Structures are given as structure tokens and as C-alpha cells.
Amino acid sequence: MSQLYPSYTIANALELTKLWVDVMVIGQNLCPFAAPERNRKSIRYVIVEKEKQSEAIEMFLSELLFLQQSSEDEASTSLVIFPTGFDNFDVFLDLLDYAEDALVQVGVEGLFQLASFHPNYQFDGLPSEDITNWTNRSPFPVLHIIREGQMGRVLDSYKSPEEIPERNMALMERLGAKGLIQRFPPFQDYIK
């Protein structure tokens, strides 16, 4: 691994996730709403080194509470990163289900929503090797907590937001594995 790109280790999870956001999410415009938040320094990155689902959900809820008590200017969104314990995509999907249930249980469904990213992300019905899965692949498992009100305002001002997923899938097909690695060399460690 070059000095520019850290290795995929727990110690580098924060640094590598930020780099992935800059190079892939913003650099490839996978999320056209991310750059302004990064520029305002309102994206939070939180590392959760808990391997038990119950402890991981507890840390997720702590971050959710922090967002509830913060203004959008302070913290518009959070990327909750799980560098250990959730490498298996099915185990991560269970965590995602619990996190979504937690939104309902604490009464913030409709105020917050979740997006998910994982090194082995696989859309339902697609084979794991399908390149379009890479629209949601990240260096480490991530639950992204999004403020629904803020997202609604941004989507209202964006022309054709429903085209974003299709545009991202088309980008992955154009780039292919080689193009992904050229743009973000750490992907060479686990891209097939």
C-alpha cells in the first residue's frame, strides 16, 4: 500500500473512510449533496469498535442522540463506521435492521433515515460480482444517519434526483474494476 493510501486496518478506518468520501463519494459525484457538507465541515465520522450487535446499536443510538441535540450547521449528518464485527454482509444487514427498528422505537422515524455501505454490499437480486454493487461499497461497514428534513430540502432543489442511482450504476459500468482501482487504489485489496 502506498503512503498516500493507508491500509485497511482498524487504526486507519477513520482516515480511509474520509478519503473514500473525498475520492469516491464526492470525487465521482456519487452523492451530489456531500461536497457542500464536507466543505462546511458538518459531516461527522464516528468509529464504533464494538463487535456485539447490542453494543454497536448502543453506540449508534448515542450518535443519533448527538445529532438530535445538534443543529444542522454543527452536524448535518453522521457516518457511523464499524471496522470490526460486521465484515459479513448478512451480519451487517441484521445490524441495519436493528438500527432501523431503533429509529422507530426512539420516535425519530421521519426525522432521520439511514443509508448503508459495506465492502461486500450486494443489491438484492444481483450477483456479488456485479459492478453496480460498487455504488454502495465502502472500505468498512457504515451506517449513514441522514436528516430527512435537510435531505427533503436538498432534493427539492435538485433536478431529477430519481436519476441519481441509475447514473451511479452507469458510472460503475463505465469505470469497471480497473477504473475504480485507478481512482481509489485501496480497492485493489478487495476488488474482484
- Model confidence over 140-160: pLDDT tens digits? 999 999 998 887 777 777 778
Helix (H) or strand (E) holding 81: strand 77-81
What domain count does the chain have? 1
Mean pLDDT of 158-168: 87
Cell 473514500 sits on residue: 20
The residue range of the domain holding 30 is 10-189
Cα 24 to chain centroid distance, Å, stands at: 11
- H or E stretch at 144: strand 142-147
> Is residue 4, in this structure, part of any structural domain at all?
no
Residue 119 lies in a domain: yes
Domain for residue 134, yes or no? Answer: yes
pLDDT for 50 beyond 50:
yes
Q: Which residue has the higher pLDDT, 1 or 153?
A: 153
Task: Write out pLDDT tens, residues 104-119.
Answer: 999 999 999 999 999 9
Q: C-alpha angle 50/53/55, rounded to 5°?
A: 50
Across the chain, mean pLDDT equals 90
Is 2 inside any structural domain?
no
More confident residue, 63 or 160: 63
Question: CB under 8 Å to 88, separation ≥6 — which residues?
Answer: 120
Q: How many CB atoms lie within 10 A of CB 68?
A: 12
